[in-house]
Structures are given as structure tokens and as C-alpha cells.
Amino acid sequence: MKRIVSLFLSILFVTGLMLIYSCSEEFLTKEPYGTAIGSVLESPTGVEYLLTSAYQATKGRSIFGSAMGTDWTYGSGASDDCYKGTEPGDQTPFNDVERWECLPSNPYMRERWRDCYNGVASCNLVLEYLWKTQAGANPIPEARAKEIEGEAKALRAWFHFQANKIFEKIPYIKTQKELGDVKPEEVPNNSPCWDEIEADLQEAINLLPTTRPKGENGRIHKYAAEAIKAQVHMYQGEYNLAKPLLDDILNSGKFSLVSEYGWNYDMTHENNSESIFELQCSTTSTGHTGMLLAGAIKHQKGAASCGGWGFYQPSQSLFEAFQVDANGLPVLDPAARDSLANDIKFKGTDEFIPTDHLLDPRVDYTIARRGIDFKGWGIHPGEPWIRNPSNGGPFMTKKFMQAQSEQALNSYGTGFYNGLNFRLYRLSHIILWRAECAVEDGQLDYARQLVNMIRNRAKSTTPIKGRVTQYKDLLNLAAGAVDWNAPAANYKVEPYPDVPGQYPFDTKENARLAVREEIRLEFATEGHRFFDLRRWGIIKPVLDAYVARDIRVRGFMTGAVYEPDRDDYWPLPQDQLDIQKGVLQQDPAYGK
């Protein structure tokens, strides 16, 4: 699929299939600009190109408000995992997301709505032209036609799911043939559309093969559709319905954890044995299909900047979550965690002695921090590479940046965009969701075994190397100041003891804490945290505690208050309400 997408970009008549028009009711039905004549699209080749366009839409058009695929703005930036970063006056609509103060006029709302329903429209075009082609003189072979329908319906469900995450009650837009006498612009938003999402996914599961269609990476197969449907059930607390889907994936024998945690975040091990559904990205001398957030979240300064803007900075809360006790186990109660030293107030030439606290080694695969090698670009010097530490803190993300050794694989411009794939669903998601189900079933020992699969992989992962003994002016390291054979920090991670009934797998309540914390550590900065806190029903106390602790580190969250009745979802965009008056209804928390 990575190659298919690159080919897609080079074919002129298909470039119009990107659905790039403004927000209006037309995007529910309108054929995209530059569309070839119907006779071209009513063909096996035309349908395949339309399907490629639908896959491409998973990345969205905008970096911030859409946040498609990665959900870094809403899933992480609105949680206790990450700050917006950069300068206070840069992308001010993001400030409102981070402080839970969004209004219907916030442009980010429009961008998310637009990109979700542009994606839906792409999928509906696939289905419409598929059915037309099948009724014509040059039909697609039946087996492939079923696959195409399955891929399109799985993607259609996924795009609606992305809208549901943000707006809760949404219209479910199908083809005109499926809607009958109801026009797409007349479909109300009177439910979360869980039933419709599940129905499309179940049809996809029934239609799709157990291997990737056409043998191409990046395409949705049966197990990818099952993973999406399992997540949909998890979001509703329907553990009993998610469980058989998760078990089918686990028992398939198709997937296995890779031996190194970092292999899920590099270009060298893309589409590996752990990957279930992976967004394919590439860069060339003439264009890119990279994740749109790639350049925005890179350093603005320093060797690794590649023209980045300095957004998306991990929080002190996230950093402290990676501390472990003497046994290499997480400290599950945030109130019991030690305050860890950070360099938010230190200049690059100041002496700063980093924490020597025992840490889970995944911390330095996730967070870029002072004194630790940054993916081969050099020892991070702290403030000299951070755009505005007082606003965004002293850390940067790592998972979305290419390694220095991979820079040659990025031939587009300066490397602002990169070709790093995003693993949307991987086996570790399935394992930890299954652990959640086991806890709710009272199978605490099984939940521990599943969690330990993830912790044992973390334990066997090669730690980041490069122990620094120079504590100031890291831009001018003295000879011998770095021991490249030694771990960069004091790392320790161990599985939970293989003792039935031992804390934290002694009660459901404690086991939930352990599984939920493992989910945070494993997927930190990957756009899940806000939605996880919401579905677990613990978002208010967690975010209240986060604000109280964070204002001791930086002042941005002073006065911010999370109100569940208002802030659990975002408001529908006002301009869309104006266009579809009497059809779409605003969340009552934001008025009519």
C-alpha cells in the first residue's frame, strides 16, 4: 500500500480524489474536484483508485484540528500525557483544547468534522462505483469485489468512529442507495451511531480475508476489522462483546510481539509481525504521504529539527508515570510517586543533574529529554533544542521522529515530513484490551499473565545507550563524557510476580489500576489517553489531580477546570450547524 499510495500521487486524474473542498453539506455527496469521467471510474482500475483515496483520507488534511489517525491533539493534548508545547500564541485554538475551553466556533471542530466526513464520502464513492462497475460489462472478479466492499465499509465505520470520539452524537452517512429516500444532508445526529458502526464492521469482517487483500501492506483484513470493532465495544464498556473478537485475533497465530519495543516506532521494522493495521507513509522528491503531525512535533532547534515547529511536548505527569519501585514495578498511585527532577528552568550551559530514580526503559523510547541520546541525532542538550520550555516544558516526543540513520530514507525536502508509518492497531493493543476483559470477568491471574507479556517485552528490550557524565553545556561534550556502552539512565522493569492473589492482582479494583497503567505506559503519546480515561469513567478525578500537580511545574493550566458534562465531548462546529439548520443538534452542554 505504501507503494500504491506513492503511485496514487503520481497519477494526475486521481489527485482530484482527495476530496479537498470546503465544509458544506455537499461533502456528504459531492464528487471530488478533478474527478475523471464516470466511464473511467466505472471500471476495476477506477474503483481501485477510489479505494486508495479512501485509505489516504485516514491521515486527514489538517495537522492540528483533524488529528486523524494519531489523535494527538484530542487524545493526548487534552489529557495528562502531553502539552501543546511551542509558544503561547502559536495555534491558539489548541490552547482551548488543552484547557477544555472549546466553543463551537473553534476552527479545530470544523477541521475534524470535515475530515471525518470527507473520509466517509470517499468510502461511499468506492461503494457506489463498485456497484455500478459490477452491473456493467467489465466487472471486478467476485472475490476481489467482496474485498473492496469489506475494505470500504471498514473504513467508513472507522471514519464515523473518529467523528464519534469527538462529537458523540453524529449522523451516519451511507450511500444514497442505502439511505433510500433520505438525503445525506437530512440525516440527523440523534445517536452515537454505535449500531451503525458495528454493522458496517461486521459486514467487513464477513467479507474480508484473513490475509491482507492483494497481499499489500496497509490494507484492512478480517483481523484489522475485528480490532476496530473490539475497540468500539471497549469504548462502550461492552467487554463481553469485545472478548470473542480479541480472542479470535490472539488465537489466529497471525501475529506476535516483536522482540524490541522500539521496532514499533522506526522505519526499519515497519509492517512487522505485531502490526495489525498500519497507516502507510512515504516521502519522495515530488511529494509525501507522511503523517501530517510529523513536522509540527519535531524540534524547532538543533540537529534533529528538520524544520520542525516544536509542538507536542510530554508532560511532567507522563514522565513521572515511568518511575518504578525497587522491584521494577509501576507506582500505581500517582499521589505516591516521587517528584522527578526536570530542567524546565535551566539554560543549556547550566549544570543540571538528571534524576537517578529507577525508570521503566520505555520512557526514553517515548520522551526526548536532556542528557539522553535522541535517536542518533546526539545527546539532547535540553533548553538549546526546546522552543519555549516555560510554556511547553523541557521534553519532546520521540515516537514520530525518524532516527538519524533513517534520514536517508526521507528524500522530501529537509525532512520536515518523514516516511515513518503509524501503527494504528498492533498486537499489544489486543493483549492489553483482553487483559481489561479478563479483569472484568474476575480472571485476575489471566489478566496478570497478559500484562506480563507486555512487561517482559519491555524487560528484554535493549535500553537506550549513552551514559552521560557531563552535567552542563551538553552541546560541547568533553572527550569521554559519554559511555556509549552503558544504559543512558537507571532502567528497571520486571513482570508482576507469578503469585496468584498477590497485589495488584488481588482484587478487581487493584487489577484495573495495573492494566490501565500498563496501557498508559505502552501507548503513551499515541493519542489514546483522554479517550481511555473517559471510557473508564475516571477522567474527572485524574484530570483534577493532574492540574493541581502540573501548576507547580508551569502556569498554563492555572484556573483550568474539567467539567464532565461539558468537556467529555467537543461541540459540533457552528458553521455546520448553520448549514444544516433543523437537522443537526448541538450538544446541550454548549447550547442550541
Residue 105 predicted with pLDDT over 60: yes
Q: What is the pLDDT of residue 194?
A: 98
Q: What is the pLDDT of residues 230-254, one digit of tens each?
A: 999 999 999 999 999 999 999 999 9
Question: pLDDT > 70: what percent of the chain?
Answer: 92
Largest CA distance in the chain: 76
Residue 383 predicted with pLDDT over 50: yes
Residue 1 predicted with pLDDT over 60: no
- Lowest-confidence segment of 39-48, 269-278, 465-474, 511-520 by average pLDDT: 39-48
Residue 327 predicted with pLDDT over 80: yes
Q: What is the pLDDT of residue 131?
A: 98
Q: What is the pLDDT of residue 488?
A: 98
All structural domains of the chain with their residue ranges:
2-63+101-255+569-576, 299-536
Q: Which residues contact 344 (CB under 8 A, 6 or more apart)?
A: 389, 390, 393, 394, 553, 554
Q: What is the pLDDT of residue 22?
A: 33
Residue 255 predicted with pLDDT over 50: yes
Average pLDDT over residues 57-61: 92
Q: What is the pLDDT of residue 285?
A: 66
Burial of 142 (0-12, 13-18, 19+ CB in 10 A): exposed
399 pLDDT band (50/70/90 cuts)? Answer: very high
- Lowest-confidence segment of 35-39, 54-58, 123-127, 282-286 by average pLDDT: 35-39
Amino acid identity, residue 124?
N
Q: Round to whole Å and give the CA distance between 469 and 356.
A: 12
| HSE-up (13 A, CA, CB side) for residue 386 | 28
Average pLDDT over residues 580-587: 96
CA distances from 344 to 341, 394, 470, 554 (A): 9, 5, 18, 9
Q: Any idea which residue has 473492496 for its cell?
A: 148
Q: What is the pLDDT of residue 38?
A: 66
Q: Round to whole Å and give the CA distance between 234 and 256.
A: 22
Q: Which residues contact 210 (CB under 8 A, 6 or more apart)?
A: 221, 222, 223, 252, 254
Q: Round to whole Å and give the CA distance between 574 and 464.
A: 47
Residue 16 predicted with pLDDT over 60: no
Q: What is the CATH number of domain 299-536?
A: 1.25.40.390
Phi, psi of 478 (to 5 degrees): -75, 160
Comparing 307 with 260, the larger pLDDT belongs to: 260
Q: What is the pLDDT of residue 25?
A: 47
412 pLDDT band (50/70/90 cuts)? Answer: low
Q: What is the pLDDT of residues 180-205, one digit of tens each?
A: 999 999 999 999 999 999 999 999 99
| 2-63+101-255+569-576 and 299-536 in the same fold | yes
Class assignment of domain 2-63+101-255+569-576? Answer: mainly alpha
Question: In degrees, to the nearest 5, what angle opens at C-alpha 590 toward C-alphas 585 and 592?
Answer: 40
- Lowest-confidence segment of 15-19, 214-218, 377-381 by average pLDDT: 15-19
Residue 2 predicted with pLDDT over 70: no
Q: What is the pLDDT of residues 461-514, one digit of tens each?
A: 999 999 999 999 999 999 999 999 999 999 999 999 999 999 999 999 999 999
243-254 b/e with 16+ CB inside 10 Å = b?
A: bebbebbbeeee
DSSP state of 75: I
**Do residues 60 and 21 make contact, with C-beta atoms less than 8 angstroms apart?**
no
Is the pTM above the cut of 0.85? yes
Q: Round to whole Å and give the CA distance between 156 and 127.
A: 10
Mean pLDDT over each residue of the chain, to the nearest integer: 92
Average pLDDT over residues 407-425: 80
- If DSSP codes are grouped into helix, strand and coil, which group holds residue 397? strand
DSSP assignment of 101-127, as one string? ---TT-HHHHHHHHHHHHHHHHHHHHH
Q: What is the pLDDT of residue 154?
A: 98
Q: Round to whole Å and give the CA distance between 27 and 32.
A: 9
Q: What is the pLDDT of residue 47?
A: 97
Average pLDDT over residues 22-27: 40
Q: What is the pLDDT of residues 296-322, one digit of tens each?
A: 999 999 998 988 999 999 999 999 999
